[in-house]
Amino acid sequence: DATIMKTILEKFPIYTEGLLKVGPKGYVFKHQYTNLAEKYYNFKLRSDDVFIMTFPKCGTTWMQEIAWTMRNQVNVNTDLELNVRAPFLEFDCLESMELEPLESWLEDFNSRNPGKDYKTEGLYLELATSCPSPRTIKTHLPFSLLNPSLLDTTKVIYVARNPRDTCVSFYHHHRLVKVNKYIGNFDEFVDFWCQDLLTYSPYLSHLAEGWSMRDHPKVLFLFYEDMQEDIMRELRKLNDFLGTSLREEELKVVAEHVKFANMKSRSTCNPTAAGIHVGRFEKNEGEFVRKGITGDWVNYFTPHIEEKFSAWLKSSKEAKNIPMKYR
């Protein structure tokens, strides 16, 4: 639709080369995805891989740090960045590879990791491919865009977060990450959200796909809000699911290590903490590991925004396919 496209381009210059809607559910991507879709679909799996699958801003980084630490002998002293230890499968299709800040980040990264000479092109796919076993891999791709044999080989942890907090967090993300170049306000952002026009949307289809797999023996479906309510309870579920056999004292070490304030202060998982990747981020838009609470949406939702948001939620044909508490 030409009017919608004009509005998008005014607020998101990144979509100048078009916005893709992929598969029957119409998942949204930037144009780079076209060249990489097949590689993601045919990504060579290993039997000890664990995928962390989320819609963006649902607690991916938190779960990456948790799962990686649990699967690596509770190593809380690593200097390696989280996105190297637990690589992001399809990051290559999100970033603009011509972007100068990525080049300087890479230069810095190669110099800090002796023996590494990564190139921007295909960087993240290479990190995922060359990652030593057992791999913990982050993806925002829903089940339907990955190989149908995924669960024959690997385990998947799906983390869900309530739609209102996810939307607020995604808004900050779009303001913060330079490649998104979002210049609108929150009210306008909610219009994009409700039209399912943001990358990886539709949120509800993504969530519905994850929720439909919750009883599969190789899927662990968790809620961000439950992790905040009682992290030890969720770590015990993970311990069983991953087969990591960690003792209660070790789980307590993990819980401490992944506390919000601790993760926020570590540059290995909060890229804006020490200014290492600063080129990729706007300076005055807060931090990547931002606020980490449930219910922050009340500070953003005016009655008008709430009205359009709940209308979107109620009118979606996927609404009946998501967890009751999020409807």
List residues binding ligand A3P (CB under 6 A): 54, 56-62, 165, 169, 172, 258, 260, 263, 289-292, 296
Write the single-letter amino acid at 81. Answer: E
179 Cβ neighbours under 8 A, 6+ residues apart: 14, 94, 95, 96, 99, 280
3-class SS of residue 50: strand
> Which residue in the list 31, 140, 174, 304 is annotated as catalytic?
140
Token couple for 223: 């809620």
Whose Cβ is closer to ligand A3P: residue 47's or residue 75's?
Answer: 75
User: Please, is 98 exposed, middle or buried when counting C-beta atoms within 10 Å of its C-beta (0-12, 13-18, 19+)?
Assistant: exposed
Q: State in angstroms the smallest separation of the CB of 295 from ligand A3P.
A: 10
Are the C-beta atoms of residues 50 and 71 closer than 8 Å to each other? yes
Angle in degrees, 0-180, between the axes of helices 186-194 and 2-11, rounded to the nearest 10? 140
Whose Cβ is closer to ligand A3P: residue 52's or residue 125's?
Answer: 52
Upstream peptide bond of 134 is cis (omega within 30 degrees of 0): yes
Whose Cβ is closer to ligand A3P: residue 60's or residue 244's?
Answer: 60
Placement of tokens 């963006």 in the chain: 56
- Where b means 16+ CB within 10 Å and e means fewer, 157-172 reads bbbbbbbbbbbbbbbb
3-class SS of residue 222: strand
Q: State in angstroms the smallest separation of the CB of 160 from ligand A3P.
A: 11
Whose Cβ is closer to ligand A3P: residue 226's or residue 296's?
Answer: 296
Whose Cβ is closer to ligand A3P: residue 110's or residue 162's?
Answer: 162
Q: State in angstroms the smallest separation of the CB of 218 from ligand A3P.
A: 22
CA distance 193 to 145: 21
Whose Cβ is closer to ligand A3P: residue 40's or residue 55's?
Answer: 55
Q: State in angstroms the smallest separation of the CB of 125 from ligand A3P.
A: 20
Q: What is the CA radius of gyration of the chain?
A: 19
Q: What stretches of the chain adopt beta strand conformation (E)? A: 19-22, 27-30, 50-54, 136-139, 155-160, 219-223
Q: Is 31 a catalytic residue?
A: no
Q: State in angstroms the smallest separation of the CB of 82 from ligand A3P.
A: 10
Q: State in angstroms the smallest separation of the CB of 234 from ligand A3P.
A: 11
Q: Which positions are annotated as active-site residues?
A: 140
